[in-house]
């Protein structure tokens, strides 16, 4: 069974670097793995992906051809990717003896969340293997409890929209982390108390309500931290991906 691993998260959270570094790590452990770029607007890769959607749909070219702005071109690209799915997906299917396909996704997470064509692409890919999402949360955005609360909510929304098992992973862990991060992630009451103590202004009361909603849908998983820079945490990432797809479903 092939694992389709989707790296998800906000622009700049480290998806592209991790796709490259994790792929290399997997290969070093004798797994067969490929990287597939699904970002039609990707400008630069630290690697040459085995599959690049830009060979079929290139947002920059669409800007010129259709007289669109950058955002319009990305939206139009995703719709086009959906329309010609079979054409490009065959290229990926040609790598039929792999264990992992790593999908690097568009910088703008909202395209995946709110565009039906993007959701449909992910679901069609899932017919060829087992989909798992890795939602990356950047270390510097989790130093402050209100920001962490919002990101946790976003991770939940992503899981609901994309309808696949999803794990939460802290990226860029070589940068400073809060010492109570594990508690913040595993105990919503503790998170709420930190929001009350550390939050400011009007956002605080709304964040408290979000914490209470999160208490109904907590991330029951252990803390996984990765750094593409230091090449650390990849074994934990590999293990949690496996566990997310295992029938037992226990990620603690
Ligand atoms: N310190 C540190 N920086 C990183 C790491 N991974 C990525 N970055 C930096 O974060 C920025 C965005 O990374 P990128 O992989 O392009 O993010 P993406 O937009 O999610 O694909 C780049 O400047 C990277 O060099 C990491 O593990 N540690
Ligand atoms: Mg990227």
Domain assignment present for 137: yes
207 contacts 218 by C-beta, under 8 angstroms: no
Q: Is residue 237 part of a domain?
A: yes
- What does the alpha-carbon distance between residue 197 and residue 214 come to, in Å, rounded to a whole number? 18
Is residue 165 assigned to a domain? yes
Strand order in the sheet with 51-52: 51-52, 33-37, 100-104, 3-8, 130-138, 166-171
The count of C-alpha atoms lying within 13 angstroms of the C-alpha of 140, restricted to the half-sphere facing its C-beta, is 7
- Answer whether residue 11 is part of any domain: yes
Q: Could you tell which of 8, 12, 14, 225 is best to mutate to test the pocket of ligand 1, judged by most ligand atoms within 8 Å of the CB?
A: 14
How high is the pLDDT of residue 4? 97
Establish if 250 belongs to a structural domain.
no
Q: Is 225 in the pocket of ligand 1 (CB under 6 A)?
A: no
Q: pLDDT for 124-176, tens place per residue?
A: 999 999 999 999 999 999 989 999 999 999 999 999 999 999 999 999 999 99
Taking the centre of ligand 1 as the mean of its atom positions, its distance from the CA of residue 87, in whole angstroms, is: 31
Q: Ligand 2 centre and the CA of 221: distance in Å?
A: 25
Using DSSP bridges, classify how beta strands 100-104 and 51-52 pair: parallel, antiparallel or unpaired.
unpaired
Residues 6+ away with beta carbon under 8 Å from 179: none
In a domain, 251, yes or no: no
Give a yes or no: residue 83 inside a domain.
yes
Q: Is the CB of 233 under 6 A from ligand 1?
A: no
Residue 42 lies in domain: 3-244
For residue 249, pLDDT over 60 is answered with no
Spell out the residues 6+ positions from residue 72 whose beta carbon is closer than 8 angstroms to its own: 63, 66
* Burial category of 49 from C-beta neighbours within 10 Å (exposed 0-12, middle 13-18, buried 19 and up): buried
Residue 247 has pLDDT above 70, yes or no: no
CATH at residue 146: 3.40.50.300
Atom of ligand 1 nearest to the CA of 230: 27
What size, in residues, is the chain?
252
What does the alpha-carbon distance between residue 213 and residue 228 come to, in Å, rounded to a whole number? Answer: 32
Q: Is residue 252 part of a domain?
A: no
> Cα of 114 to ligand 2 centre, how many Å?
19
Structural domain tally of the chain?
1
44 CB within 6 A, ligand 1: no
Q: Please enumerate in sequence order all residues whose Cβ is within 8 A of that of 17, keeping only pairs 6 or more positions apart, or say none.
A: 46, 228, 229
Instruction: Check: CB of residue 228 under 8 Å from CB of residue 18.
Output: yes
Q: What pLDDT digit, counting tens, does each position of 221-243 carry?
A: 899 999 999 999 999 999 999 99
Q: Is the pTM of this model over 0.75?
A: yes
């Amino acid at each position: 069974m092939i694992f389709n691993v989707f790296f998800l998260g906000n622009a700049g959270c480290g998806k592209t670097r991790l796709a490259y570094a994790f792929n290399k790590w997997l290969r070093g452990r004798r797994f067969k793995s490929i990287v597939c770029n699904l970002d039609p607007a990707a400008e630069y890769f630290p690697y040459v992906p085995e599959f690049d959607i830009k060979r079929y749909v290139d947002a920059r070219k669409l800007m010129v051809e259709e007289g669109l702005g950058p955002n319009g071109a990305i939206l139009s690209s995703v719709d086009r990717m959906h329309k010609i799915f079979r054409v490009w997906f065959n290229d990926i299917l040609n790598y039929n003896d792999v264990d992992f396909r790593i999908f690097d996704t568009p910088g703008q997470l909202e395209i995946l969340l709110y565009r039906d064509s993007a959701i449909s692409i992910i679901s069609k890919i899932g017919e060829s293997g087992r989909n798992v999402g890795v939602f990356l949360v950047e270390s510097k955005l989790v130093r402050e409890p209100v920001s962490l609360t919002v990101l946790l909510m976003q991770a939940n929304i992503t899981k609901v929209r994309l309808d696949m098992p999803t794990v939460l992973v802290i990226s860029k862990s070589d940068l400073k982390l809060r010492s109570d991060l594990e508690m913040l992630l595993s105990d919503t009451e503790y998170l709420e108390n930190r929001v009350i103590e550390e939050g400011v202004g009007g956002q605080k009361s709304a964040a408290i309500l979000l914490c209470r909603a999160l208490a109904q849908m907590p991330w029951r998983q252990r803390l996984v931290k990765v750094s593409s820079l230091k090449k650390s945490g990849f074994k934990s990432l590999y293990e949690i991906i496996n566990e997310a797809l295992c029938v037992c479903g226990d990620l603690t």
